[in-house]
Structure 1
Amino acid sequence: MRQQPSVGPAGDQAPKSTPVTFTDPVLAAVLANRFEAIVREMTNTVLRSARSVIVSNGRDFSCAIVSGDGELVSVADGLPVHTFNSHMQAANIARLHPDLAEGDAFIDNDPYRGNTHPADQTVMVPVFVDGEHLFTACAKAHQADIGNSLPTTYHPFAKDVYEEGAIIFPCMRLQRNGRTIEDVIRLGMRRIRVPEQWRGDLLATLGAARIAERRLKELCREHGTARIKTFIKEWLDYSERLMASRISALPTGHMDVSSTHDPVPGFLPDGIAVKAVIDVDPDAGEITVDLQHNDDCVKAGFNQTEATARSSVMAAIYHSLGTGLPRNSGAFRRIKVLLRENSVVGIPRFPASCSIATTNVADRLVNLVQSALAGLGHDIGLAEGGLCMGVNSGVISGEDFRNGGRAYISQLTLASNGGPASAFADGWGTYGIPAASGLTYRDSVEINEIKFPMIVDHLRLVPGSAGAGEHRGGLAVETCYRVREGTMTVVTNSDGQLFAPQGVLGGQSGALGASYLVHEDGREERIPGFGVHVVRKGQALRGTTNGGGGFGDPAKRDPALVLRDVCEMRETIERARDTYQVVLTENATVGTLAVDAERTAKMRRLEVI
């Protein structure tokens, strides 16, 4: 921090003619953590008070604090796909509402003006201190239903926003003078299939934003508005310097890379090509990712919004560069993302559908950038993470016979994909999907069985499904569930069933995902990754997720780790021998396995030490 005169005691305001700067790095660290603590309190509020399973159980929501002049200040542990664009969304308040005032609150899920996709609904509260709009508190929650023409939070088959059918609130005023505008509530209650669930989640996010408003005002009273404003400026500048320093330690790199999303029969027979040109400039301390060479928007729900395209790149770079980098607008200054209008990976042109903009292509983009950066060496980057959203993440709906046929709808997060391996560790076993960075939770089986008329038959890891490597990927998970009575509609939109997550630097790809309809007689029918499936009593859905990609040559993996994986049923003896080149022998007396060091060394063509 620069050594210049500071403000007076805590709570005092410096005269307007006196520049205010920091001299105390300890206080700066304290304030940075105070902002994170406020975001965490917002998060706990939503987690404990939301109505839907996807928010209160799956934790598919995020909170953030944005400065009044549009800089992202703090996100704590929010999902990157949600939070890395919060400042873009908050900017709509002042632009669309020149009469902005104390006591206002806004609701926004407009994918064409800074939001992620229509199913992510954000409540924003402008925070005024001494009459000045100093902050905006943002709480975004994924909706189990947003009024789509199909009973699903995602609509992969929508040719445009009209066929999609989602109700869109384009930064509408939700409260004035602290009083709720009931017209907005009535509109949502009429259009949503589960109106009370939607209203409960809305109140939870509104409550979180109002708590942030209260805490931010308290913080300004405690330390003085001038000191807080100075902290924000210098904290963002400091964050920029940290990011520039981290990038300056990398080698110069130019990468022209591409990946492919699975085909969608009848809509996208060739899949979707995802392309990126990446330039790492250590002298300038910048990384530029050019996404302008991607195809035009498609007539389906896969189009990226500007927010998700930018956030996916940011997430991949943060994944790759290691820990300790603040996630705010200051650090973002060193990452340039180049987009073009009307591109499937860019800025959508109305009325292109962006229904599944937070997953699918976004996940491919995260994987593409982080795996490309691994090619630079220097122990950065990651392999590709699992991105399958099959029956384990399907959106279930129907009528519950247990309460008079009342309608239900919810997205499952029963199982997780295997995470990507890195230069330092195996892939995370509860990774989720790349765009969520492992921050969503897996559903409780028991809560789902209580809430919905379903039975989960099993949930288990799939041995040998991880991408092999010096560090292996996380394992795929298999799940199977059925309906208790009547029928259940399940909508799926799963990538990763044809093109698997790739390994890097000699690492192998993770397992493909798969989905099956299990008939009453036990016969299994393979079903597409994308579809609307009606499951009747006596039938079940079974599916596996992806394993994560491996990092490095499998033949360099520590044999003791291979032995451990086999003993824990994460790997098979056959893969240990054929893939990892590790020979295991069994002691028939005690029934245990051990590494045959001599034969393993011979197989790996190494000298026995």
Structure 2
Amino acid sequence: MTSSPSKNAPDGVQMAMISSRMETIARKMQNTIFRTARSGILNTAHDFSCVVLTADCQMLSAAESLPNHTLIGPDLMCQAVLKHHPIMKRGDCFLHNSPYEGNSHAADHCMIVPVVDDGGVLRFFVLAKAHQADCGNSRPSTYLADVKDVYEEGALIFSATKIQEDYRTNQDIVRMCESRIRVPDQWWGDFLATLGSVRIGERELLALGDELGWDALEGYASRWFDYSEQKMIQAISKLTTGKITLHSAHDPFLGLPDGIPVKVEVEIDAENARITVDLTDNPDCQPCGLNLTEATSKSAAMIGIFNALLDHRVIPNSGSFRRIDVRLRENCCVGIPRHPASCSVATTNLADHVTNPVQRAIAELSAGYGQAATGPIQPPGMGVISGRDPHNKDEPFINQVHIGVSGGAGTPVTDGFLSIIHAGNAGMCRIDSVEVDELHHPILIDDRHLIEDSEGAGTYRGAPSIYSEYGPWGGSELTILYAADGTVTPAAGTRGGGSGGTCRAAMRKVDGSVVELPPCHGITLKAGEKIISHSASGGGYGVPTERDPARVIHDLAEGWISLERARDVYGVAVVGSRATDDLALDPVGTEKLRSKGRPLAAAS
């Protein structure tokens, strides 16, 4: 239901200008973290998000943030802060990372600041969420999938904890973190970067309130939400009414030999412009770290919807969210967890098994919309590395690297986004620079390349897999922890598209021999040893033999597919060769191949 326009609501031009100002504030917050954080997961991979919310905890602006961070979690976290601290004062700041009260997982430390005017009235919240390279887990990793509960996980968890009052930092909490976190100097730098981010957001909003008036900003927020809802109504009304149930499953896992099945029911009501996602008929919380939080369960479903609409005019905020209903139940692995269930990996693995069926369901119901499945996540190419740096006074280091991850899904209009990493962050995180990783840590990255014939074939194909190989450098040892999904079950295609390639983990010994590794594993490499990673690729959208031959020839020239795959899967005949750089379409041969209707071949 839309709200009545406020008497202080701005006109369209003013609303656009204020919206731009709000986004600028969120970008200033983001730029602060990017330029001042110490850990690579923040200043290289960009795994953080900044949000502006209204005083009643509605998400207003998030700029270029990760959707699994910002769609619904900030609302829930600010509600938790208000619950525990009903009186807000200027100068307060709260540290919050509880997975049971709106956060994504314990490794995402959130700073929340109330924006209070000169009269003591709460006007807005600003929130910055920063993924920690180390959060005090029982082992050196931001993610621990193979733990049976939060106690075994071991992370420090803060529930709306007041970290500052009257702008003074609670040093007791700082000492607690420094004594538990393995890289205290790095954590302290990231802490200050995040704190600086929210204080800049507060400063800018106070200045904006003084300039335009708080009533005008309140009227803007109300109208902006109504406008965003109307854009969502227009987008949903273009879809086809219907109801569909799709099934997915996380790979078999330690103690879970059958994996974790996920059932997703999607209903589109185009006439009334509503989409309902029902996740209630799923298993209880599992004895592992893969359970989702309320925030990641809802956000995962919503990400699938936003991905499927293919309409960038729909603004992701609390106004457009009014048209989405995500149904959850308590004590469910893709619902609302009950303490002490561990949610250590709540942003990625199982969350993608919600997002992917949602975007595929909309594709199956509505031609020209939706997406295939994005590739599963967390091969060793995005493992958490740790050890001691012999070239830096033997100091400890820990960081999550993004050396080799791809996985973008085919859509009705584009090939898969090569560097999306996974569905939940929508490409907002970044693939690491090889040189920067090697400068930051004692590692050597021997190889990184796209794997031939690994894409999910389709009219629009999924992004191919990435091969990466790396290990310790300078005589040091290197510990790597990872939790790969998709080693058994690949990303599914849709509307006739093929499935993607699977993940793989292996180790190259000093003598050059290669041994396979488990999908969820921790390993310490000695000098001369390497870890090998294949990221999962994305599924394809549409029948491969309907792919534009020019696109096939492009992929062939780039070395992403072979001549045999071009012929046998896409039904495209060519003349010339890659070696002589004179590949060209053979139209007669292509017509013959495609008239035969050759069967689809799976990715290798």
| TM-score with structure 2 setting the length | 0.96
Q: Residues 466-518 of structure 1: CA distance to partner in whole angstroms, max 9, x if unpaired?
A: 11111111111111001122321110101011100111111101111111100
Amino acid at match of 2:45: G
Partner of 1:31: 18
SS at match of 1:542: strand
Q: For 1:562, which of 552, 555, 558 is the aligned residue?
A: 552
Rounded to whole Å, the distance in 2 between the matches of 1:126 and 1:588 is 60
Q: Residues 110-130 of structure 1: CA distance to partner in whole angstroms, max 9, x if unpaired?
A: 000000000000001100123
2:105 matched to 1:117? yes
2:66 matched to 1:76? no
Q: For 1:408, which of 368, 372, 397 is the aligned residue?
A: 397
SS at match of 1:337: strand
Within-5 A mapping of 1:128-147: 128-129=116-117, 130-147=119-136
Partner of 1:417: 406
Partner of 2:339: 350
Partner of 2:164: 175
Q: Residues 225-280 of structure 1: CA distance to partner in whole angstroms, max 9, x if unpaired?
A: 1111011011111211221221122111101111011111x321111111111111
SS at match of 1:307: helix
2:27 matched to 1:40? yes
Within-5 A mapping of 1:140-155: 140-155=129-144
Aligned 8 A contact 1:93 1:100 in 2: no
Aligned 8 A contact 2:379 2:483 in 1: yes
Partner of 1:268: 256
2:584 matched to 1:594? yes
2:391 matched to 1:373? no
Structure-2 change in CA distance of 1:588 and 1:150 (3 Å): closer
Q: For 1:551, which of 527, 536, 541 is the aligned residue?
A: 541
Amino acid at match of 2:216: R
Rounded to whole Å, the distance in 2 between the matches of 1:397 and 1:293 is 39
Unaligned runs of 5+ in 1: 7-18
2:318 matched to 1:329? yes
Amino acid at match of 2:76: M
SS at match of 1:409: strand
Partner of 2:48: 61
Partner of 1:521: 511
Q: Residues 273-315 of structure 1: CA distance to partner in whole angstroms, max 9, x if unpaired?
A: 1111111111221101010000000010011000000011111
Q: Residues 4-37 of structure 1: CA distance to partner in whole angstroms, max 9, x if unpaired?
A: 9x9xxxxxxxxxxxx6243521111111111111
Rounded to whole Å, the distance in 2 between the matches of 1:100 and 1:67 is 14
Rounded to whole Å, the distance in 2 between the matches of 1:258 and 1:469 is 21
Q: CA deviation at 1:100?
A: 2.2
Amino acid at match of 2:242: G
Partner of 1:319: 307
Partner of 1:95: 83
Rounded to whole Å, the distance in 1 between the matches of 2:476 and 2:33 is 33
SS at match of 2:249: strand
Unaligned runs of 5+ in 2: 598-604
RMSD: 1.6
Rounded to whole Å, the distance in 2 between the matches of 1:249 and 1:551 is 19
Amino acid at match of 2:501: A
Within-5 A mapping of 1:200-599: 200-264=189-253, 266-322=254-310, 323-484=312-473, 485-586=475-576, 592-599=582-589
Aligned 8 A contact 1:20 1:226 in 2: no
Rounded to whole Å, the distance in 1 between the matches of 2:407 and 2:103 is 28
Amino acid at match of 1:448: D
Identity of aligned residues (%): 40
Q: Residues 79-126 of structure 1: CA distance to partner in whole angstroms, max 9, x if unpaired?
A: 011011211111112210133211000100000000000000000110
Q: CA deviation at 1:586?
A: 2.0
SS at match of 2:576: strand
Rounded to whole Å, the distance in 2 between the matches of 1:197 and 1:488 is 19
SS at match of 1:410: strand
| TM-score with structure 1 setting the length | 0.95
Aligned 8 A contact 1:107 1:123 in 2: yes
Q: CA deviation at 1:447?
A: 1.5
Rounded to whole Å, the distance in 2 between the matches of 1:588 and 1:168 is 55
Rounded to whole Å, the distance in 1 between the matches of 2:537 and 2:576 is 28
Amino acid at match of 2:24: A
How many residues end up aligned between the 2 structures? Answer: 591
Rounded to whole Å, the distance in 2 between the matches of 1:450 and 1:90 is 38
Aligned 8 A contact 1:159 1:353 in 2: yes
SS at match of 1:90: helix
SS at match of 1:517: strand
Rounded to whole Å, the distance in 1 between the matches of 2:10 and 2:571 is 58
Structure-2 change in CA distance of 1:477 and 1:107 (3 Å): same
Amino acid at match of 1:22: A
Q: Residues 516-568 of structure 1: CA distance to partner in whole angstroms, max 9, x if unpaired?
A: 10001110001011011111111100111011111100000111111111111
Aligned 8 A contact 1:387 1:417 in 2: no
Q: Residues 297-349 of structure 1: CA distance to partner in whole angstroms, max 9, x if unpaired?
A: 00100110000000111111111112111111111011000000000000000
Aligned 8 A contact 2:88 2:116 in 1: no
Rounded to whole Å, the distance in 1 between the matches of 2:579 and 2:68 is 54
Rounded to whole Å, the distance in 1 between the matches of 2:455 and 2:596 is 25
Aligned 8 A contact 1:388 1:497 in 2: no
Rounded to whole Å, the distance in 1 between the matches of 2:265 and 2:557 is 43
Q: CA deviation at 1:589?
A: 12
Aligned 8 A contact 2:556 2:578 in 1: no
Q: CA deviation at 1:464?
A: 1.3
Rounded to whole Å, the distance in 2 between the matches of 1:590 and 1:122 is 54
Aligned 8 A contact 1:383 1:502 in 2: yes
Q: CA deviation at 1:387?
A: 1.9
SS at match of 1:267: coil
With 399-408 and 167-176 compared, the bigger mean Cα shift is at 399-408
Amino acid at match of 2:537: G
Aligned 8 A contact 2:244 2:365 in 1: no
Amino acid at match of 2:548: D
Rounded to whole Å, the distance in 2 between the matches of 1:101 and 1:253 is 49
Aligned 8 A contact 1:39 1:65 in 2: yes
Q: CA deviation at 1:388?
A: 2.8
Aligned 8 A contact 2:442 2:476 in 1: no
Aligned 8 A contact 2:557 2:578 in 1: no
Rounded to whole Å, the distance in 1 between the matches of 2:281 and 2:448 is 41
